[in-house]
């Protein structure tokens, strides 16, 4: 999105009742009643900050591979990687990328990853590495001054998409079938017309998300209505649905999506300006995004990232500059469980949940 603001183109340790690694006893700890005096003290899952060594960088791109391995992408062309659970971080930034703003990273393992830089014209680029960031190949550079790429997602190790704000009245979609080594612009005939002022938010790398081999969803804001677009065929054709998350202003809309399968999804957002309220910052769907219901008890403020907890059908985390919220009922109600600032969150089936944000902040969920 071509506007200024902390989330355009766009705490503390998690010591209170936190969102768990969501497997068996760990998930039960989130909702369990307090232990009686004669019972041993329980350790609840919590965010544990990891020292990234980069306090000058804001990380809005995050890809969790496992509890040990994660990738970060942020300002000043910065890419970091850990393979020891965050004890140490290696700066694996692409050479000569210091002027770029990385807002999304999609990693396949500890060695292979794809990063997206945002911006107008040639500032929007994609890089890929196959050797843990030792070397990078620039696989896409936008040459259309009207395009501004926000997010990307992968269905598997080969097939992925990236999205740009509308060009000629429609969102533009890039496609790859070789793991991000090459890209092509998809035809726009199957894309609904964009609303006046409608665009995406490059706030957390979660404005374009997929589930399964072909389903993908795109989050929007900035227009009279905040919408979610859905494609069942890897971006060739799309349908659009309104959400109850407030819009009507360039700073408002849906900032992030998460789908635990092709039917059940979450949307979070609001107004990114710190002096503006976000009274309805979350919604949920049970029909693949055809209809969205507002959260009965939403997060109390703007949220820019959201992720389902592994091995749970009902628990998820939402993060933003003012805190982390937990739902244990599929997005119907949320409660704040931490006040630390994070922009994005990601979890893996291997019980690894990570969060990242401003001032080099990165944390892993610990139990």
The model's pLDDT over 324-363, given as tens digits with 9 standing for 90+, comes to 999 999 999 999 999 999 999 999 988 799 999 999 999 9
CA distance linking residue 286 with residue 367, whole number of Å = 30
CATH of domain 49-366: 2.130.10.10
Contact by Cβ (8 Å): 246, 270: yes
DSSP state at residue 333: B
- The tokens of 293 are what? 């219901």
Average pLDDT over all residues of the chain: 90
Q: What is the pLDDT of residues 8-42, one digit of tens each?
A: 333 333 333 333 333 433 444 444 434 344 444 44
CA distances from 242 to 76, 284, 320 (A): 35, 12, 23
pLDDT recorded at residue 28: 42
> Residue 272 and residue 3: Cα distance in Å, rounded?
12
**Distance between CA atoms of residues 199 and 226, nearest Å:** 10
The predicted-structure confidence for 253-286, as pLDDT tens digits, reads as follows 999 999 999 999 999 999 999 999 999 999 999 9
- DSSP strands (E only) in 147-234: 148-154, 160-167, 170-176, 184-185, 208-211, 215-219, 227-231
Name the DSSP letter for residue 85.
T
Residue boundaries of the structural domains of the chain = 49-366
CA distance 264 to 60: 24
Contact 150, 207 (CB under 8 A): yes
* pTM (2 d.p.): 0.90
The pLDDT assigned to 1 comes to 58
40-71: pLDDT as tens digits? 444 566 899 999 999 999 999 999 999 999 99
């Amino acid at each position: 999105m071509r506007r200024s603001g902390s989330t355009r183109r766009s705490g503390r340790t998690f010591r209170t009742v936190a969102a768990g690694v969501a497997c068996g006893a760990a998930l039960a700890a989130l909702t369990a009643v307090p232990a009686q005096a004669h019972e041993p003290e329980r350790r609840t899952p919590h965010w544990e900050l990891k020292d990234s060594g980069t306090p000058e960088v804001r990380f809005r791109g995050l890809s969790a591979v496992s509890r040990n391995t994660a990738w970060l992408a942020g300002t000043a062309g910065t890419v970091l990687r850990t393979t020891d659970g965050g004890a140490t971080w290696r700066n694996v930034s692409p050479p000569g990328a210091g002027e770029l703003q990385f807002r999304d990273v999609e990693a396949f393992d500890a060695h292979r990853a794809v990063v997206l830089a945002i911006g107008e014209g040639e500032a929007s680029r994609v890089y890929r590495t196959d050797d843990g960031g030792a070397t990078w190949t620039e696989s896409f550079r936008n040459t259309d001054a009207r395009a501004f790429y926000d997010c990307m997602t992968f269905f598997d190790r080969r097939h992925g998409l990236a999205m740009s704000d509308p060009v000629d009245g429609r969102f533009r979609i890039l496609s790859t079938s070789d793991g991000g080594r090459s890209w092509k612009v998809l035809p726009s005939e199957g894309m609904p017309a964009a609303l006046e002022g409608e665009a995406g938010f490059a706030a957390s790398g979660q404005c374009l998300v997929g589930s399964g081999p072909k389903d993908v969803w795109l989050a929007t804001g900035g227009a009279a209505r905040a919408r979610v677009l859905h494609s069942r065929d890897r971006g060739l054709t799309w349908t659009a649905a309104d959400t109850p998350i407030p819009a009507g202003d360039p700073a408002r809309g849906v900032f992030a999506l998460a789908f635990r399968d092709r039917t059940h999804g979450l949307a979070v957002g609001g107004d990114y300006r710190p002096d503006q309220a976000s009274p309805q910052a979350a919604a949920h769907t049970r029909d693949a995004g055809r209809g969205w219901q507002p959260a009965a008890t939403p997060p109390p403020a703007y949220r820019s990232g959201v992720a389902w907890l592994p091995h749970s059908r009902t628990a998820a985390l939402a993060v933003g500059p003012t805190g982390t919220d937990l739902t244990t009922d599929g997005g119907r109600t949320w409660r704040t469980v931490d006040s630390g600032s994070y922009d994005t969150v990601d979890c893996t089936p291997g019980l690894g949940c990570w969060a990242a944000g401003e001032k080099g902040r990165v944390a892993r969920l610990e139990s």
